[in-house]
Amino acid sequence: MESDEKRSIEYKMDILVGYILLTGVLVSIVLIATGVVWHYVDTGHLGFDYSIAGMNLFQFVLNEIHQFTQFHLRPRLFVNLGIAALMLTPYIRVLASMLFFALAEQNYKYTTFTAIVLMVLTYGLFLR
Amino acid sequence: MIRFVCRLTHYVSINIHLLKENRMSFEILLLVSIVAGFVGAMSGMGGGVILIPALTLLGMDIKHAIAISIVSVIATSSGSASAYVRDRITNLKVGMFLEMFTIVGALVGAAITLISSRGPLFIIFGLVLLGSWLTLLLQRHEMWRPIEHQDKFSNWLELNGEYFDHASNETIAYCGGRAYLGGPLMFGAGLIAGLLGIGAGALKVLIHDLVMGLPPKVSTTTSNLIIGVTALAGTSVYLAAGMISPALAAPVILGIVAGAFIGTRILVKLTNQSVRLFFLIILAILGVEMIIRGVGTIA
């Protein structure tokens, strides 16, 4: 009985992780493609010519969201948001796994492991 | 016809001009990435192994090619991992445990690339290509040697599981072992991934198979899950260094995903043997070429 319950929790976790990954990649592709097509419609050619200065992901995301809320909409904003969404996909996957291990499965051993992974990833994303 | 030739010449001259400035046109990048994603998905090796040599052949700086490739690795691995996880073959616990090692490896590897000179990068990349060539040549048939006695550490890590095999129509139970060895080895796999901007899936699968005794299906799908997180750790270093240019990343991400999508659809129709032979030839040529260029850069 207990094992059945555990199996059903693991099943839910697999489904959750699968959909997080799928959604993240799809959102990212749609955003990038939107930016590229918009740029093409605007300028008549496909190539972009800009680069971003060295910054970490959180600065990058905040910067983009700030522009978004200012309605400063440009094709490159969509491309940048798409790249940010792609980078956040595995991050959110790990975050969700940690919450699931902690709250649903109450497996503190794996909650700790996942927390370590999350900490190292966060450290990496704060690099500057 | 003449107008077409004129337009073509004009187009080629623009692209050569861009290449000289170490910039690449969107169309060329998209095309190269579609081919890399396609070949990568058909061979199961991932796109980076083809993408990076191709981009450097077109004149891109190897460090920038590595930085762009590792972003696209997040997309391809997450895309295919999503399907496998929902099929319930992937072992999330094995994945989580090994990710602790691979991400640290990827951070270190990417940091080394940033300070390294270019010659050694070409040579290491060439050696990895030839290594993949060797594993493909000696490809073992899917023989699984289950672990008889699980060691205490792996048991404590709860590295056992089961999955439903659609081919044989039965549930297969397994237990992973030798985690004390698998973990540190995965640090090495992560290091290679971050250093060279590839998924290093073949290496990860080898560790799962030979060291930890996981069934082939579980080891491939779990390695896929690990690759995404490892690539993110590597990407964060390259992003901080200002090496992820959206202008280059956009066509590569779109192209690799499109190519991989087509590649997985066609996989079924081609015989395994012809794909393998084709890939053996490509890997050998690219591997030797990268080593020669590396030696040339140093000398």
* Domain range list for chain A: 2-125
Answer yes or no: do A18 and B83 touch at CB < 8 A: yes
Q: Could you tell me which of B116, B7, B73 has the C-alpha nearest to residue B227?
A: B73
pTM: 0.88
Q: Is the pLDDT of residue B4 over 70?
A: no
Buried-exposed string B210-239: b where 16+ CB fall within 10 A, e elsewhere: ebbbbbebbbbbbbbbbbbbbbbbbbbbbb
For B161, list phi and psi in degrees, rounded to 5: -170, -175
Q: Could you tell me which of B190, B198, B228 has the C-alpha nearest to residue B290?
A: B198
When scoring B99, B108, B256 by the number of chain A Cβ atoms within 10 A, the one with the most, hence best to mutate, is B99
Beta-carbon contacts of residue B295 (< 8 Å; ≥ 6 apart): B119, B123
- Compare B1 and A116 and report the one with higher pLDDT: A116
User: How far is the C-alpha of B33 from the C-alpha of B22, rounded, in Å?
Assistant: 17
User: How far is the C-alpha of B222 from the C-alpha of A5, rounded, in Å?
Assistant: 23
Range in A23-27, B108-112, B199-203, B274-278 with the lowest mean pLDDT: B274-278
Token representation of residue B83:
């399907």
Range in A102-106, B51-55, B190-194 with the lowest mean pLDDT: A102-106
Assess B228–A contact: CB distance below 8 Å, yes or no: yes
When scoring B7, B86, B89, B155 by the number of chain A Cβ atoms within 10 A, the one with the most, hence best to mutate, is B86
Assess A118–B contact: CB distance below 8 Å, yes or no: no
What does the pLDDT look like over A52-100, one tens digit per residue? 666 777 777 787 788 777 776 778 888 888 999 999 999 999 999 999 8
Kindly report the nearest CA distance between residue A47 and chain B, in angstroms.
5
User: How far is the C-alpha of B109 from the C-alpha of B213, rounded, in Å?
Assistant: 27
User: What's chain B's average pLDDT?
Assistant: 85
Residue B153: CB atoms within 10 Å:
14
User: How far is the C-alpha of B199 from the C-alpha of B211, rounded, in Å?
Assistant: 19
Answer yes or no: do B239 and A87 touch at CB < 8 A: yes
Assess A84–B contact: CB distance below 8 Å, yes or no: no
- State the DSSP string of B184-208: HHHHHHHHHHHHHTS--HHHHHHII
What does the pLDDT look like over B9-50, one tens digit per residue? 666 555 555 554 445 788 889 999 999 988 888 777 778 888
Q: Is the confidence metric ipTM above 0.90 for this complex?
A: no
Q: Is the pLDDT of residue B3 over 80?
A: no
Find residues 163-222 of chain B whose CB sits inside 8 Å of chain A: none
Q: Which chain A residues contact residue B79 at CB under 8 A?
A: 21-22, 25
When scoring A55, A57, A120, A128 by the number of chain B Cβ atoms within 10 A, the one with the most, hence best to mutate, is A120
User: How far is the C-alpha of B14 from the C-alpha of B28, rounded, in Å?
Assistant: 11
Q: Does residue B204 contact residue B119 with C-beta atoms inside 8 Å?
A: no
User: How far is the C-alpha of B15 from the C-alpha of B28, rounded, in Å?
Assistant: 8
Assess B14–A contact: CB distance below 8 Å, yes or no: no
Answer yes or no: do A51 and B242 touch at CB < 8 A: yes
User: How far is the C-alpha of B90 from the C-alpha of A94, rounded, in Å?
Assistant: 15
E-strand ranges in chain A read none
Residue of A nearest to B254 (CA): A29
